[in-house]
Amino acid sequence: MLATPTDMESAQAHLLADGKRLHLHHGPIDLIIEAFGADRDAAYRSAAQRFETILTELVGELPLLRERAVSNRTFAGAVARRMQKAVEPFCAQFVTPMAAVAGSVADEILAAIQNVPEMRKAYVNNGGDVAFHLCEGETINAAISGLPHGRITMDFTQPFRGIATSGWRGRSFSLGIADSVSVVAADAASADVAATMIANAVALEGCPRVKTSPADELSPDSDLGTMLVTIDVGELYPEEVDLALDQGAKVAQSLLNCGLIGGAVLQLHDEIRAVGLPADRQSYPNEIPARKLIDA
């Protein structure tokens, strides 16, 4: 199925086959949305209307969004401002607002849905970075694949409305080797950048079985420039897995202590670390199929 693009595509919306969930797509953005409430159509209409200009707003400020974040920089777009806000606590290190782009888009669209009256519950899933809305009495279940196929359940009383996952196998480049780092935080943008930073910290310096490449060789306009990003992780010794996870868990713990995240689950090979979240297998009784690397 090869086709050459002709006209620049515009934002698209349609319901998925189940007739319940909305799929919004534009360029690199794909959102899966589900809303529960009196007027779901109104919620979807609101989401779709907000979505229509999201990408063009972002593109207008893309060059600055791809630069290293500095404190108190101001942006015009609502999503860009969310990104800046999310990376603000991390400006002492290298980070660009792009680390929070997926979560920020999810938060922005969720806000449009929350405006619709009588929305009991809703979520906006942007490729695994999810913003959700809960009314009193509502809970939400997140499946974290790869975790011994576990779930995280969050309810109205908890102050978390975002969850995000990062890892070198994902769509964005990672400086680390974590298979995945899933983070729960106040909103999706905060979870997104925290997951990125924790995943970056799950690293092994100079390990010959970790293959890297300059980011701009893989993607010429990557915000990471010539920084080395992980492209392959070979077999690791258990001590190496432990060491890498320890480093990541340390970062996660400090973010937890600062109140920046509600918890994190780190995965590397078959090892799991949880910070502020239960990680024992009994907590995750239900299995879901996971897509895995076909590697011998």
Partner 1 sequence: MSQSAEKIRCDACPVMCYIAEGKTGACDRYANANGQIIRCDPLTILNKRISDGGEIIPFLKSQWDGSLIRDDEVFVTANGAGTTYPDYKPAPFIVSREIDGVDFVTVVTEAIFSYCGVKVKIDTDRHIGHEGAVVRVNGEAIGHVMTSEYGSQMLSLGGVDHLTGGSKAEGRVTCDALMKLCNKEAVELSVDGGSTVVVKAGHAPIIDGHQEERMRVGCGSATIGMFASQWIGLVDEVVVVDDHITGVVSEHQAGKVIDWPNTGIKILGRRSTPGRYFQVAEPGLGWGGTNVEDPLSILGPWNGKKGAKPGLTMLMVSTTGEQHGYYVLDDDLKPQKQDLPETLQPSVDLIAENCEPALCTVLFMGGAGGSLRSGVTKNPVKLTRSVQALKTSVTCGGAPLYVWPGGGITVMVDVTRMPDNSFGYVPTPALVAPLEFTVAREDYKTLGGHDAAVRSVDDVLESGGEYGDNVRAISPPPGSELGARNTN
How many residues are present in the chain?
A: 296
Q: Exactly one of 110, 112, 140, 202 binds partner 1 (CB under 8 A); which one?
A: 140
Residues 86 and 235: their CA atoms lie apart, in Å, by: 34
- Give the residue from 189, 206, 179, 192 showing the smallest Cα distance to 266: 179
The two structure tokens encoding residue 73:
């920089």
CA distances to 13, 22, 138, 180, 287 from 196, rounded to whole Å, are 28, 27, 28, 10, 26
Backbone angles phi, psi at 61, to 5 degrees: -115, 15
Q: Assess contact for 101 and 81: CB atoms under 8 A.
A: no
Minimum CB separation of residue 126 from partner 1 in Å reads 7
Looking at the Cβ atoms of 21 and 81, the one nearer to partner 1 is: 21
Residues 202 and 6: their CA atoms lie apart, in Å, by: 42
| End-to-end CA separation in angstroms for the chain | 29
38 binds partner 1 (CB under 8 A): no
Residues 193 and 102: their CA atoms lie apart, in Å, by: 9
Count, residues near partner 1 per rule CB under 8 A: 84
Minimum CB separation of residue 122 from partner 1 in Å reads 10
Residues between 14 and 33 with contacts to partner 1, criterion CB under 8 A: 14-19, 21-23, 25-28, 30, 32
Residues 261 and 249: their CA atoms lie apart, in Å, by: 12
Residues between 147 and 166 with contacts to partner 1, criterion CB under 8 A: 149, 151, 163-166
Q: Exactly one of 84, 96, 104, 126 binds partner 1 (CB under 8 A); which one?
A: 126
How would DSSP label each residue in 19-46? Answer: SS-EEEEETTEEEEEEEEETTHHHHHHH
Minimum CB separation of residue 92 from partner 1 in Å reads 26
Minimum CB separation of residue 71 from partner 1 in Å reads 26
272 binds partner 1 (CB under 8 A): no
Looking at the Cβ atoms of 41 and 257, the one nearer to partner 1 is: 41
Looking at the Cβ atoms of 134 and 204, the one nearer to partner 1 is: 134
145 binds partner 1 (CB under 8 A): yes
Q: Exactly one of 213, 237, 254, 257 binds partner 1 (CB under 8 A); which one?
A: 213
Residues between 63 and 122 with contacts to partner 1, criterion CB under 8 A: none
Q: Exactly one of 8, 76, 92, 258 binds partner 1 (CB under 8 A); which one?
A: 8
